[in-house]
Structures are given as C-alpha cells and as structure tokens.
Amino acid sequence: SMANIDTTWDRLLSTRSSRTPLLISAQYGYENHWKDVTQVFQPLFTQGTAVTVSNDALGGDPYPGHVKTLKIRYWQLSGQHPAEAAVQEGRELRFDFSSEVHEAYYGAASQVYDITALVQSAFDMFGSFEATNARLREYHEMFNAGTLLPPGVVDPCPYVVKIFCIVCAGRRVYMGKEGEVVLSSMIQ
C-alpha cells in the first residue's frame, strides 16, 4: 500500500548517513529496452569508486549491437526529490558524494542561470564540473535537470566570458570563469 511505501521511504531517509546517497534504481539499455541492474550496480554506487559504464561492469550485454545507457535514480545529499542521471556506455563515473552544493550560478551581467542541480549532479557522478556551454548542455541531457537555456540558445551571453559561483556546505564559495574545470575536492 502507499502508506507502507511512505513509511519505508521515511525510514530509509532518516537512517541514511548524511554522507551516503541512496540508490533507488539502475537500468541499462536503450530506447524502450531496459534491464534492471540495480542489484549489480548497488555495490559500485555505495563504494563510491570510479567505474566505467560497460557490459562487464553491469553484468553482461543485455542488448548486443546497441550502444547502451545507464539510467540511475538516487537521492542526493541535499535533495528533496530523487535525482536522475543517464550516462552512455564508455563514460567513466567517479562517484564523489562529499560535496553538498547549496547554490550555483553561471552567466554574465543580467543573464545569470541557476545551475545548482547540474553542479550537484556533476559532482556526484564525475567528481568535477566543467564550466563550458557545451558541457552544460550535456549535463542537462544527462541529468534531466530542467532547461538551462531556451531552445536554440547556445550561449546565455555571446562574446562575453561567463563566470560561475558555487556555494557548498559550510558556505564555502568557489568562483571561476568559463572553461575552468572544478573538482569537488577543491571546495571540501
């Protein structure tokens, strides 16, 4: 029943350590063909070690001849809602769940975008965040995190160097400019 599910979530959320996100599900496949790999993926996710999305890592090739994607849902440290990530075969994930991102912004002058969810997801999955227009668009596709830019807009402020600001737990602030790569360990 729904009441049971709610109680289970409450228990899971209240017992999880503040430094351990909770994996909800993991699926591996393409288009409408998905294999549940939650059991296989759970230890990789929990250990927080680097892993390459591959048939070997995820218990075999469920759909030979197709490029597959790993889709995961999990609770972030600071998240009120489950986060999602879709990472293509061949990409390396470096789980780093130690940075709690409170706020993050990207832009210049009056064109500033809130990228908090993107930065948190990038830190979680890759242990880093790359401040480029192209990478932001890629993060958007991967993390299903709303729309950063209106359709067709490639750059919030063309011909201007964008800056970004990330505020983490303990009010630690990191500021940088377009093109930089920030490791989550830099703002521990």
The model's pLDDT over 10-67, given as tens digits with 9 standing for 90+, comes to 655 555 445 567 889 999 999 999 999 999 999 888 877 788 999 999 999 999 999 9
CA dihedral of 78, 151, 53, 46, whole degrees rounded to 10: 10
pLDDT at res. 169: 78
Over residues 60-90, the pLDDT tens digits come to: 999 999 999 999 998 877 666 788 888 999 9
Residues 125, 70: contact at Cβ < 8 Å?
Answer: no
User: What stretches of the chain adopt beta strand conformation (E)?
Assistant: 22-30, 33-36, 50-52, 69-75, 82-88, 92-94, 101-108, 111-114, 128-130, 163-168, 172-177, 181-183
CA distances from 73 to 25, 112, 128, 136, 188 (A): 5, 28, 19, 20, 25
